[in-house]
């Protein structure tokens, strides 16, 4: 990092805090919609970490995670810089909806276009004015459509640097996830940066355990990168899942869970039941093989073909005896 650092037109000097705003658009009422961007720069140079929540407006756990990091002052680095964007998709957050007002999924609009749709223009500004200024990103998400994710980090596990940071984050699961075209992850990766995607809980729901996991994981990454002085607290030996698949509903009907999310299950163990409302049938959903369940559908009514359980096809146990921050590949 050079001594002079400018973001969104504002120079951030060493030891300085700045509350900036990324302007999105104006409403028909003439009110301006702006995204708050909170920047904390230490007196000593180091890497820049971006923490962002609410890319999907209804995924409030991510918003709460970044909010708690700010409240606990974890975003005040000893070296380097930490940038926090608690509510990225302000439009969606106002209405607790996943999409932008134009109906588009913001996480499929990157890197965006200067004169594109509203979501595309917003993605473009982020890509041009914020993304190039950071070294590492943690993007916090939750499951959608009544699907609840057990706390997990998603990354491309063949990338050693990403896997190492995922292990340091220390969520219970690390899921291999390739880059999706036009997503935030893909754009950050194409800029040569390292990004982790955290998934936990479900949309429109605040889960204390998920929030705590996200906060503790981000703090571990800060410590590992040298942004904070302490050593990471590695409480878990995360399970790495190179491959996974969905168990889908064979019938439509009322759905009841019979398994705890995050648990190890055995082949033919009952995961749930689908019943019709008239007592005509009861269809049990069985585990197809020994596996971990790390996402469950919490909807009371499901349709044939709906995704019910995300399960591991392969697993790898990991060790947490990882290099110290002084040995981190920069």
**pLDDT, position 23:** 86
**Residue 280 burial by Cβ neighbours in a 10 Å radius (0-12, 13-18, 19+):** exposed
Helix (H) or strand (E) holding 183: none
**For residue 327, what pLDDT is reported?**
37
Q: Do 78 and 44 contact (CB within 8 A), yes or no?
A: yes
- CA 66 to CA 162: how far, in whole Å? 21
Cα gap 78→100, rounded to integer Å: 36
Dihedral of CA 190/120/91/146: which sign? negative
Determine the Cα–Cα distance for residues 208 and 214; give it in Å rounded to an integer. Answer: 10
**pTM for the model:** 0.94
Return the CATH architecture of domain 243-316.
Beta Barrel (2.40)
Specify whether the CB–CB gap between 162 and 220 falls below 8 A.
no
Separation in Å, CA 50 to CA 82, 140, 263 = 6, 11, 31
Q: Are 175 and 288 in contact (CB under 8 A)?
A: no
In sign, the C-alpha dihedral spanning 85, 135, 5, 121 is negative
Please give the span between the terminal C-alpha atoms of the chain, in angstroms, as a whole number. Answer: 12
* Domain range annotation of the chain: 6-239, 243-316
Task: Dump the DSSP string for 209-243.
Answer: HHHHHHHHHHHHHHHHHTSSSSPP-----PEEES-
Residue length of the chain: 330
Q: Which of 82, 72, 62 is nearest to 18 (CA)?
A: 82
**Collapsing DSSP states into helix, strand and coil, what is residue 200?**
strand
- List the pLDDT tens digit at each of the 330 positions of the chain: 457 899 999 999 999 999 999 988 777 787 788 999 999 999 999 999 999 999 999 999 999 999 999 999 999 999 999 999 999 999 999 989 999 888 899 999 999 999 998 899 999 999 999 999 999 999 999 999 899 999 999 999 999 999 999 999 999 999 999 999 999 999 999 999 999 999 999 999 999 999 999 999 999 999 999 999 999 999 999 999 999 999 999 999 999 999 999 999 999 999 999 999 999 999 999 999 999 999 999 999 999 999 999 999 989 866 554 444 433 443
Residue 287 makes CB contacts below 8 A (sequence gap 6+) with 247, 265, 266, 267, 268, 269, 270, 271, 293, 311
CB atoms < 10 A from the CB of 230, how many?
10
Residue pair 314/243 in contact (Cβ under 8 Å)? The answer is yes
Q: How far apart are CA 50 and CA 268, in angstroms?
A: 43
Q: What architecture is the 6-239 domain classified under in CATH?
A: 3-Layer(aba) Sandwich (3.40)
What the block records as the tokens of 211 is 């929030």
Q: How far apart are CA 153 and CA 185, in angstroms?
A: 13
């Amino acid at each position: 990092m050079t001594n002079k650092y400018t973001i969104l037109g504002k120079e951030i000097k060493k030891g300085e805090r700045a509350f900036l705003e990324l302007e999105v658009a104006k409403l028909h009422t003439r009110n301006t919609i702006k995204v708050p961007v909170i920047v904390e720069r230490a007196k000593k140079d180091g890497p820049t970490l971006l923490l962002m929540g609410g890319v999907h407006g209804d995924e409030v756990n991510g918003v709460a995670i970044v909010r708690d990091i700010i409240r606990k002052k974890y975003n005040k680095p000893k070296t380097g810089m930490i940038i926090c964007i608690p509510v990225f998709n302000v439009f969606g957050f106002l209405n607790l909806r996943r999409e932008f007002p134009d109906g588009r999924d913001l996480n499929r609009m990157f890197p965006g276009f200067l004169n594109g749709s509203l979501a595309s223009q917003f993605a473009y500004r982020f890509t041009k004015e914020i993304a190039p200024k950071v070294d590492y990103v943690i993007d916090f998400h939750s499951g959608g459509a009544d699907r609840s994710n057990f706390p997990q980090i998603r990354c491309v596990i063949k990338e050693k640097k990403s896997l190492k940071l995922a292990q340091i984050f220390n969520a219970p699961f690390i899921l291999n996830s390739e880059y999706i075209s036009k997503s935030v992850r893909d754009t950050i990766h194409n800029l040569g940066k390292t990004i982790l995607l955290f998934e936990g809980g479900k949309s429109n729901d605040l889960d204390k355990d998920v929030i705590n996991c996200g906060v503790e994981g981000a703090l571990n990454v800060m410590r590992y990168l040298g942004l904070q002085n302490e050593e990471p607290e590695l409480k878990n030996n995360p399970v790495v899942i190179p491959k996974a698949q969905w168990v889908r509903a064979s019938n439509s009907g009322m759905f009841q869970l019979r398994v705890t999310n995050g648990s190890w299950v055995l082949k033919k163990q009952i995961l749930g039941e689908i019943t019709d409302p008239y007592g005509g049938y009861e269809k049990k959903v069985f585990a197809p093989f020994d596996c971990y369940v790390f996402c469950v559908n919490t909807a009371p009514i499901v349709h044939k073909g709906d995704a019910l359980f995300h399960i591991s096809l392969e697993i790898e146990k990991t060790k947490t005896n990882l290099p110290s921050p002084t040995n981190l590949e920069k």
